[in-house]
Amino acid sequence: MPLSDSELLNYSKEHLFYEIQMFFRLGWILVRLAAIPPIDSVGITIKNALIESFVTHLRNLGSFLSLGKAKFPGDVLAKDFFKQPAEWNPRIPTPLGAALKRSDKEVAHSPPLVLLERAPGRNGNLESAWMRSDPC
């Protein structure tokens, strides 16, 4: 059953706003931390946790913007905000599409948890070339 306009507005104010806010705030933090190499394993762990959180919010926003179907009951997609959901036809820029695809291999929160295809990091660090480039 489609959500009402007021339900979609409430969803946007809480859940969608949170995803966007976390994505940009974590990106801001990671850009500033890039200039400071981690000193020890704790620093590497903290940086990896920040990267994983950033990528999780990227994936959540990518799922929201997708053309696919909701994976779970109660999932809200961008097309749900249209009177005619078929009107939603986003053109995902190639670099963003590549970042979304890569994010699925970098951070796996659904089976399998360990991927052979995970991109190699440096010194046990998830930071790879894709984190040092502009995804948009």
Domain coordinates in residue numbering, the chain: 5-131
Task: Kindly report, residue by residue over 76-113, the tens digit of the pLDDT.
Answer: 889 988 888 888 888 888 888 888 888 877 776 544 44
- Counting Cα atoms < 13 Å in the Cβ hemisphere of 7 gives 8
Would you call 76 helix, strand, or coil by DSSP? coil
Q: Is the pTM of this model over 0.75?
A: no
Q: Report residue 136 CA to chain centroid gap.
A: 13
Rounded CA-CA distance 74/77 in Å is: 10
103 contacts 61 by C-beta, under 8 angstroms: no
Give the per-residue pLDDT at 19: 94
